[in-house]
Amino acid sequence: MGLNEKPLSTLHEKASYDLADFDVPTGREEAWRFTPLSRLKGLHNGKAEATGQLVVQAWTPSGVSAEWVGREDPRIGRAYVPADRVSAQAYNAFEKALVITVPKEATPEDHIKVELRGGGADGASYGHIVVVVEPLAQAVVVIEHQGSAVYADNIEFVVGDGASLKVVSLQDWEDDAVHVSHHHAQLAKDATFRSFVVTLGGDLVRLSPSVSYTGPGGDADLAGVYFVDAGQHLEHRLLVDHSQPHCKSNVDYRGALQGEDAHAVWIGDVIIRVEAEGTDTYELNRNLILTDGARADSVPNLEILTGEVAGAGHASTSGRLDDEHIFYLQARGIPFDEARRLVIRGFLGQLIERIEIDEIRERVMGAVEAELAR
Amino acid sequence: MSTLEIRDLQVAVEDKAILRGVNLTVRSGETHAIMGPNGSGKSTLAYAIAGHPKYTITGGQVLLDGVDLLELSVDERARAGLFLAMQYPVEVPGVSVSNFLRSAVTAVRGEAPKLREFAKDLKNGMDALSIDAAFAQRNLNEGFSGGEKKRHEILQLELLKPKIAVLDETDSGLDVDALRVVSEGINRFRASGDTGVLLITHYTRILRYVKPDFVHVFAGGRIVEEGGPELADKLESEGYEQYTKATA
Ligand SMILES: Nc1ncnc2c1ncn2[C@@H]1O[C@H](COP(=O)(O)OP(=O)(O)O)[C@@H](O)[C@H]1O
Ligand SMILES: [Mg+2]
């Protein structure tokens, strides 16, 4: 049960489309205790009016559709029910949702791109995106967040039988942005889901990726890289809810922190329910703390309710740069700053290497390089 | 022509005195063997010269061609021409061998090597040490066997071409074949120019392949006896017992 007094399964019980079902958080709740509410600019208490300027654009390869639909569209909210106050706020406040559909058995050559560009952090914006990958289809979605905004949204990934979806979500916001987001993936029988989250910018980013399964054989891999600078609060809250037999999940999040009041939060919740026999799951979070004044909170929680798991484990480490690594490189003539960059790049690069699209991998590596050069 | 001069070097680890006044001069063209029992301070000498942060210099000097190495940072010492082959090379996750070697060569030479030339040097170096080409893409020392780590240290020695090389138990843990390959590498390095070698070893075995000009016996944090190659033969037959008793 980790640090929680209640089991995970009860902690994540609450879900509702109705905003009134969620009290305004005070910061004492388990789900909000790490988040500096005063910096949410009212996203959590109804005071953030939807007067923000955020432009969403989508590019789809042929055969893939992207539609803007009204709130009543039946495809909205089918896979995901808001799980906290800000999520419910976003669900009730968005005007139009973007629905992207990859038809049955389609294998588009190119990736789908969604760009969200904020025009300022004065007013708030709310959004909703649904990505449906129909049975046996395969798709890659790249979501890029740029500019400045106060933004809350929910994204639903509906992955059909035997389908495969890879998502890269890049949070490359300006320094004053506030972003609270839920990414929920629902995996049907034998579906594959790969998520790669990169969070670099923003004053406060709180991203909650979650996975549920509706049939056996689903396979989810959730990777993340973050680089936290002075004053930033970057929070990732993962939930994998195994309720079907013979599914897999793997979580690997890594971050580097530097500067006064750089704060990273990682919560990794995995529930293996009674029905979920043969589950294979592992979750890992590693933090590299580069300077004094930076703090990483890392909380893995694993609740196993069945006696029949194939594998279940978790690990969390937070530490300094290893003196021995730096010494070895310096002893070969490499100056300290470069040695340090090599080690950090290596630490994050091992994950970044797994991004399969060259262009995106290089973009992410370039963004990390830019952070290292700061 | 280079000279490494160690004068009355005293070193402590965590407030515990380990080296108690070491005097030794290594000139290019010379190979000095330092032999001694475990715990006598051989690695402490090597690390202290290289500048490992755990070792505190409490007295003495280390000069390379008159430059006080102890005033320099670790990387400055390496760029000044010092090389340390480590007894236990460190695994660095996520940093590839080729990337590491290119960074090191660039730093030591002061300019980036031409890519094609570097690739050729690397391939030749790896072939000579029977290192599989796939190693270049692997993470530095990660998952390397003991022998692979040591060969990789010698590969660096040959690529970086230092003025003075300190080799800390490069022979330990090697089987006979690997020992021969590694020794050949050291001998190529010795033959390649004006270089001096300080060969630290626990066993006399490597001295059959790498012939020393001088042998120093190390015990209790200082040199307790010195001589020519014949001293190694004496150690071979008599062991370190007489020295450890004397310093206990
Ligand atoms: N990094 C270290 N931390 C603590 N003690 C050390 C360290 N390095 C060496 N020592 C101590 O110094 C002494 C000499 O060790 P070392 O130089 O490794 O000897 P050798 O290489 O001859 O076996 C030993 O008593 C050892 O315990
Ligand atoms: Mg030693």
Tell me the pLDDT band of B242, cut-offs 50, 70 and 90. Answer: confident
In a domain, B20, yes or no: yes
Cα Rg for chain A, rounded, in angstroms?
A: 20
* Cβ–Cβ < 8 Å for A185, A215: no
Q: How far apart are CA A4 and CA A239, in angstroms?
A: 15
Between A370 and A130, residue with greater pLDDT: A130
State the ligand closest to the CA atom of B217: 1
Q: How far apart are CA A125 and CA A108, in angstroms?
A: 31
In a domain, B7, yes or no: yes
Check B53 against A323: CB less than 8 A apart.
yes
Q: How far apart are CA B59 and CA B8, in angstroms?
A: 7
CA B136 to chain centroid, in Å, comes to 22
Per-chain mean pLDDT for chain B? 95
Q: How far apart are CA A64 and CA A76, in angstroms?
A: 18
Q: Where are the beta strands (DSSP E) in chain A?
A: 54-59, 65-69, 97-102, 112-133, 138-159, 164-171, 178-187, 192-199, 204-213, 219-228, 233-242, 248-257, 263-272, 279-289, 295-304, 309-319
For residue A295, give both structure tokens: 């703090």
Of the residues A277, A300, A320, the one at which a domain ends: A320
Per-chain mean pLDDT for chain A? 95
CA A45 to chain centroid, in Å, comes to 23
In a domain, B25, yes or no: yes
Characterize the bridge pairing of strands B164-168 and B196-201.
parallel
**Residue pairs between chains A and B whose CB atoms are closer than 8 Å:** 80
The DSSP element (H or E) to which B128 belongs, if any, is helix B115-128
What is the reported pLDDT for A368? 87
pLDDT per residue as tens digits for the range B66-119: 999 999 999 999 999 999 999 999 999 999 999 999 999 999 999 999 999 999
pLDDT per residue as tens digits for the range B115-172: 999 999 999 999 999 999 999 999 999 999 999 999 999 999 999 999 999 999 999 9
What is the reported pLDDT for A1? 38
Which residue ranges have their beta carbon within 6 Å of ligand 1? B 13-14, 18, 36, 38-44, 54
Check A333 against B107: CB less than 8 A apart.
yes
pLDDT per residue as tens digits for the range B168-220: 999 998 999 999 999 999 999 999 888 999 999 999 999 999 999 999 999 99
Q: Are residues A151 and A40 in the same domain?
A: yes
What is the reported pLDDT for B247? 52
Q: How far apart are CA B111 and CA B43, in angstroms?
A: 31
Which whole number is the average pLDDT over A227-235? 97
Q: Are residues A57 and A206 in the same domain?
A: yes
* Cβ–Cβ < 8 Å for B217, B226: yes
For residue B247, give both structure tokens: 């310093």
Q: Which residue has the tokens 């170096």?
A: B125
pTM for the structure as a whole: 0.87
What is the reported pLDDT for B246? 55
Distant-in-sequence, close-in-space partners of B212: CB < 8 Å, separation ≥ 6: B31, B32, B33, B199, B229, B232
pLDDT per residue as tens digits for the range A201-221: 999 999 999 999 999 999 999
Tell me how crowded residue B162 is: count the other CB atoms within 10 A of its CB.
24
Work out how many domains chain B is built from and give that number.
1
Q: Are residues A329 and A295 in the same domain?
A: no
Interface test with B, best of A334, A338, A340, A369 (most B CBs within 10 A): A334
For residue A258, give both structure tokens: 């530097």
pLDDT per residue as tens digits for the range A35-71: 999 999 999 999 999 999 999 999 999 999 999 999 9
Range(s) of the domain holding residue B22: 3-90+148-247
Q: Which residue has the tokens 């490499």?
A: A334
Interface test with A, best of B55, B87, B95, B157 (most A CBs within 10 A): B95
User: Which of A328, A329, A349 is closest, CB to CB, to B94?
Assistant: A349
What is the reported pLDDT for B4? 98
In a domain, B82, yes or no: yes
Q: Are residues A342 and A297 in the same domain?
A: no
For residue A208, give both structure tokens: 């909650």
Minimal-distance CA residue of chain B relative to A327: B52
Find residue B59's DSSP bridge partners: B10
What is the reported pLDDT for A2? 43
Q: Are residues A311 and A360 in the same domain?
A: no
Q: Are residues A203 and A348 in the same domain?
A: no
Q: Are residues A280 and A343 in the same domain?
A: no
Characterize the bridge pairing of strands A164-171 and A192-199.
parallel
For residue A340, the one-letter residue type is R
Burial environment of residue A56 by CB neighbours within 10 A (0 to 12, 13 to 18, 19 or more)? middle
User: Which of B51, B52, B107 is closest, CB to CB, to A334?
Assistant: B107
Tell me how crowded residue A359 is: count the other CB atoms within 10 A of its CB.
10
Confidence check: pLDDT of A6 > 80: no
Q: Is A333 on the interface with B (CB under 8 A)?
A: yes
Q: Are residues A251 and A334 in the same domain?
A: no
What is the reported pLDDT for A3? 46
Check A342 against B99: CB less than 8 A apart.
yes
Distant-in-sequence, close-in-space partners of A228: CB < 8 Å, separation ≥ 6: A234, A255, A256, A257, A258, A259, A262, A263, A264, A294
pLDDT per residue as tens digits for the range A311-355: 999 999 999 999 999 999 999 999 999 999 999 999 999 899 989
Range(s) of the domain holding residue A150: 19-320
Q: Are residues A301 and A327 in the same domain?
A: no
Q: Give the distance (Å) from ligand 1 centre to CA of residue B13.
A: 8
Tell me the pLDDT band of A5, cut-offs 50, 70 and 90. Answer: low
Our CA-based measurement puts residue B153 at a distance from the nearest CA of chain A, in whole angstroms, of: 10
Q: Are residues A204 and A119 in the same domain?
A: yes
Work out how many domains chain A is built from and give that number.
2
* Cβ–Cβ < 8 Å for A357, A167: no
In a domain, B133, yes or no: no
pLDDT per residue as tens digits for the range A159-183: 999 999 999 999 999 999 999 999 9
What is the reported pLDDT for A362? 92
pLDDT per residue as tens digits for the range A247-306: 999 999 999 999 999 999 999 999 999 999 999 999 999 999 999 999 999 999 999 998
In a domain, A372, yes or no: yes
Q: Kindly report the CATH number assigned to the domain that includes residue B235.
A: 3.40.50.300
